[in-house]
Structure 1
Amino acid sequence: MSRSHLIDRLLAGLPAEAVLTDPDVTVSYAHDMASFCPAGTPAVVVLPRTVEQVQHVMRTATELRVPVVPQGARTGLSGGANAADDCVVLSLTKMDRIIEIDPVDRIAVVEPGVVNAALTRAVNEHGLHYPPDPSSWEMCTIGGNIGTAAGGLCCVKYGVTAEYVLGLDVVLADGRLLSTGRRTAKGVAGYDLTRLFVGSEGSLGIVVRAVLALKPRPPRQLVLAAEFASAGAACDAVCRIMAGGHAPSLLELMDRTTVRAVNDLAHMGLPESTEALLLAAFDTPDPAADLAAVGALCEAAGATQVVPADDTAESELLLQARRLSLNALEAVKGTTMIDDVCVPRTRLGDLLDGVERIAGKYGLTIGVCAHAGDGNTHPTVCFDAADPDEARRARESFDEIMALGLELGGTITGEHGVGVLKKEWLARELGPVGLEMQRAVKQLFDPLGILNPGKLF
């Protein structure tokens, strides 16, 4: 099958402006934010605007046996959107309509290219809220969030993407359209295929529409910052907060390396003398009282200083510091390998201590920021990709961190997905029987293996 024949077949059902063939343009779609992961060279990039156009792409791909790699904003961190050689990159960013917002049923119906922040702002106008808020919320798309089962800063109270996806329209590998789930508050008819697609990283079908659950818009949150002389003390505070029955809207941790990196990038004046900075937030009717109670628990755990924000502006400044963490760590050496290990909260301190040992062993800078309330950590290995030895040490340290996470009873990914980066580790976590069942599901939905090949397993 020639590239020209593929393009001609695609143009038979797509407008010319939706088919990109210039190699200087298509190469820019080769990978997501994990630029160090292997990526192929796409044959063509298509940007459909309708469900019918997506169906045409998949029918063409099935007919010609061509791999298809679905993409959103390419903000992923595991290579899950990286192109395969001679593939069709199916970019869904032009399908960006918010079709419906229903304040009575508290749902939104959206296309996959809707940006997370745009949806949040739109539903806020109706007194509603869409809670999942990845750090890249100003850029990432709902389709990408669904593909990776994304989380975010507020998940400790409100949960992750999977808990808000009620129903999906999915174009299957052969071009058929499948509708799953519901738009009602409850529903248990048949197998839960909706949950099956959430987190499948585009390997089972192409999400073209989603019905999302919404919550009432919460009050403005206030944030508390607590400094600790050790990461272990900060993790002890996290355990005390959760065991005490508190429900913070956010409970985030930044280690010393991350704090200094954020200061270097944004000159925010965060306290560099601290070994760990814990941020706790409440969006309750009386957040000041909740912060006072949590502040007392932080002090009991050994906090050297506890500073509650006076207003929402100061709170937003602290949250901005946390959101800048990954960008700041990337600026340390130019490239980062971002781990996504999630462990039981009670083992959080053990993981951070282990990461520090691993950083020393390999002579690398590894900063940790974490959704501490979930036990979801992001150890971030900073390295110079142009230095082969440093790149090797970075990969080895990354693997040791994942091994440590599994040893502590955790998982290799809490919200970023598997992609290319963690394929071998997925097999270790699932075990042979689990892997066999997952491959059987893949075979059922994608018998030709054309959907996002080379990802997951």
Structure 2
Amino acid sequence: MTVDVVTLLRAELGDRVDVSPASLSAARADKSGHAATGTPLAVVHAASVEDVQAVMRIATATRTPVVPRGAGTGLAGGANTGGGEISLSLRAMNLVREIRPADLLAVVEPGILNAELNALLEPHGVWWAPDPASRAISTVGGNIATGAGGLLCAKYGVVRDAVLGLDLVLADGRLLRLGHRSVKGVTGLDLTSLVIGSEGILGVVVGATLKLRRLVVGERVTLTALFDGVRSAAVASAAVTASGIQPAVMELMDATSLAAVHRLLSLSTPPPGAAQLTIQTDGPAAGDEARAIAEVLHLAGGHVSVAADEAEGETLLAVRRALHPAMETLGATLIEDVSVPRSALPAMFDAIARIERQYGLVIPTVAHAGDGNLHPNFVFDGPDVPDVVWSAAEDLFRAALALGGTLTGEHGIGVLKRRWLADELGDDQWLLQRDIARVFDPLGILNPGKVFAT
């Protein structure tokens, strides 16, 4: 069967079918550090919609599993390809097919990098708002597959708020065009929103019509505030939210993560135990908003500093964006992704502190404090995640759910969280969602083993 599938693929796609050991090995894992079991059959480097359709027709005819993949920067194992599976890479499909500033839309292929897209949009006076920390290395298709968010989403929204339509290849090779190009559109069920965040189990995204924004007019003001502990910083962030001021960015770093990034970037050592809020305002009222936020932070016990200019402000944000490489200097990491209501951030940090004590762990944590999305990092000696880490992670997930939160805010379920999905959804909704997936993919060949535990 292995030879037959690869032979069929090569007959249709020629040298786009890659069976080199290096490519097969790379397709087994993503940035989560988790690797699939076994060796993929092949990596297919699709360059067109027709390539994707050919792969899916062959996969359906031979009952061969297919795992769609962008840049492989995911953190939940969602694009990991194992034994007997085809890795379908969309990275070479990276064109911007249309930019319409007057209509605030662009049509793109899935393989373009987030940052590259915005560099191409900027001369037209527009931008695409989703802003994951991985924007320089993650694809738009991957952003769509996971429903990504990022530093700016509290003010400007997440991927689901920024997509008008999708082109989707189904498991049998049929091409659907979902959504619309107009600002409004409520014809039929909203299948576009259903596909966003579905992690490749419903179909392969081969094109996207994106909702753009005008470039922000006015200045950007960035400030930082140091606090004696992470709970104080979380209380201060909740106070900013309660004040009614809407910053573009509000990021929180606990003491361990802040110290690790400072070491990585050769910056001065922060005070022991200090946590930091980094906040940016933008637009015509940026200066007034920054001054008002600084007063809130000061009253909450923060030691506030304001960047001298936008260049210094971007340097301060680079500290937050360096979190993942900083964690890699500490050891292997399991990077988690829970979200809670913004007012519950202090309580969630209390829960993390309890879990650290109970399990004898240090859990460096950062948060998109503007929207209540936390990224606790479990650090361990790799390659396998120790049982104590999984036990602590389960405790953390249940704490987030108890506070009215969710298992994942932007990284997705993948393979790492599938065992807890029914705990959040309930059995009836879990079964309904699984059954919906089977309508799109009756044979279960699209990204099998991801999202829904078998």
1:172 aligns with 2:170: yes
Secondary structure of the residue aligned to 1:350 is helix
Q: Distance in 2 between matches of 1:68 and 1:171?
A: 12
Deviations 1:268-288 (A, max 9, x none): 236333531001111121322
Residue 220 (structure 2) aligns with: 221
- Aligned Cα root-mean-square deviation (Å): 1.3
Q: Distance in 2 between matches of 1:200 and 1:268?
A: 40
Indicate if the aligned counterparts of 1:72 and 1:93 stay in contact, CA closer than 8 A: yes
Q: Distance in 2 between matches of 1:102 and 1:93?
A: 24
- Partner amino acid, structure 2, of 1:64: T
Secondary structure of the residue aligned to 2:251 is strand
Q: Which runs of 5+ in 1 are unaligned?
A: none
Indicate if the aligned counterparts of 2:238 and 2:345 stay in contact, CA closer than 8 A: no
Matching of residues 106-185 of structure 1 within 5 Å: 106-185=104-183
1:400 aligns with 2:395: yes
- Partner amino acid, structure 2, of 1:42: P
Match of 2:47 among 39, 42, 49: 49
1:439 aligns with 2:438: no
Indicate if the aligned counterparts of 1:252 and 1:373 stay in contact, CA closer than 8 A: yes
1:55 Cα deviation after fit:
0.2
Structure 1's 20 and 371: CA in aligned 2 closer, same or farther, altered over 3 A?
same
Match of 1:67 among 65, 73, 82: 65
Residue 9 (structure 1) aligns with: 8
- Partner amino acid, structure 2, of 1:134: P
Match of 2:88 among 77, 87, 90: 90
Indicate if the aligned counterparts of 1:339 and 1:402 stay in contact, CA closer than 8 A: no
Residue 26 (structure 2) aligns with: 28
Q: Distance in 2 between matches of 1:65 and 1:378?
A: 37
Indicate if the aligned counterparts of 1:227 and 1:274 stay in contact, CA closer than 8 A: no
Q: Distance in 1 between matches of 2:154 and 2:445?
A: 36
Residue 236 (structure 2) aligns with: 237
1:409 Cα deviation after fit:
1.0
1:342 aligns with 2:333: no
- Partner amino acid, structure 2, of 1:56: A
Secondary structure of the residue aligned to 1:166 is strand
Secondary structure of the residue aligned to 1:355 is helix
Indicate if the aligned counterparts of 2:57 and 2:171 stay in contact, CA closer than 8 A: yes
Residue 378 (structure 1) aligns with: 375
Residue 318 (structure 1) aligns with: 316
Secondary structure of the residue aligned to 2:145 is helix
Secondary structure of the residue aligned to 2:292 is helix
Secondary structure of the residue aligned to 1:251 is strand
Match of 1:364 among 361, 364, 371: 361
The number of equivalent residue pairs is: 451
Secondary structure of the residue aligned to 2:61 is helix
Indicate if the aligned counterparts of 1:84 and 1:453 stay in contact, CA closer than 8 A: no
1:396 Cα deviation after fit:
1.7
Residue 266 (structure 1) aligns with: 265
Deviations 1:401-437 (A, max 9, x none): 1111111110000000000000011111000111011
1:427 aligns with 2:419: no
- Partner amino acid, structure 2, of 1:96: N
- Partner amino acid, structure 2, of 1:377: L
- Partner amino acid, structure 1, of 2:419: E
Secondary structure of the residue aligned to 1:332 is coil
Indicate if the aligned counterparts of 2:33 and 2:333 stay in contact, CA closer than 8 A: no
Q: Distance in 2 between matches of 1:296 and 1:59?
A: 61
Indicate if the aligned counterparts of 1:129 and 1:218 stay in contact, CA closer than 8 A: no
Deviations 1:35-94 (A, max 9, x none): 235444201110010101100000000000000000000000000011132101000000
Query: After the TM superposition, which of the residue ranges 262-271 and 49-58 deviates more from structure 2?
Result: 262-271
Q: Distance in 2 between matches of 1:39 and 1:198?
A: 27
- Partner amino acid, structure 1, of 2:26: S
Q: Distance in 2 between matches of 1:37 and 1:84?
A: 8
Residue 203 (structure 1) aligns with: 201
Q: Distance in 2 between matches of 1:336 and 1:268?
A: 23
Structure 1's 428 and 229: CA in aligned 2 closer, same or farther, altered over 3 A?
same
Q: Distance in 1 between matches of 2:35 and 2:444?
A: 21
- Partner amino acid, structure 2, of 1:140: S
Residue 278 (structure 2) aligns with: 279
Secondary structure of the residue aligned to 2:198 is coil
Structure 1's 37 and 430: CA in aligned 2 closer, same or farther, altered over 3 A?
farther
Q: Distance in 2 between matches of 1:412 and 1:237?
A: 24
Q: Distance in 2 between matches of 1:232 and 1:7?
A: 55
Secondary structure of the residue aligned to 1:221 is strand
Secondary structure of the residue aligned to 2:264 is helix
Query: After the TM superposition, which of the residue ranges 446-455 and 354-363 deviates more from structure 2?
Result: 354-363
Indicate if the aligned counterparts of 2:229 and 2:255 stay in contact, CA closer than 8 A: no
Q: Distance in 2 between matches of 1:135 and 1:177?
A: 32
- Partner amino acid, structure 2, of 1:271: P
Q: Distance in 2 between matches of 1:225 and 1:408?
A: 28
Q: Distance in 1 between matches of 2:335 and 2:429?
A: 25
Q: Distance in 2 between matches of 1:36 and 1:94?
A: 24
Deviations 1:338-375 (A, max 9, x none): 11000011110111121122122222221011100100
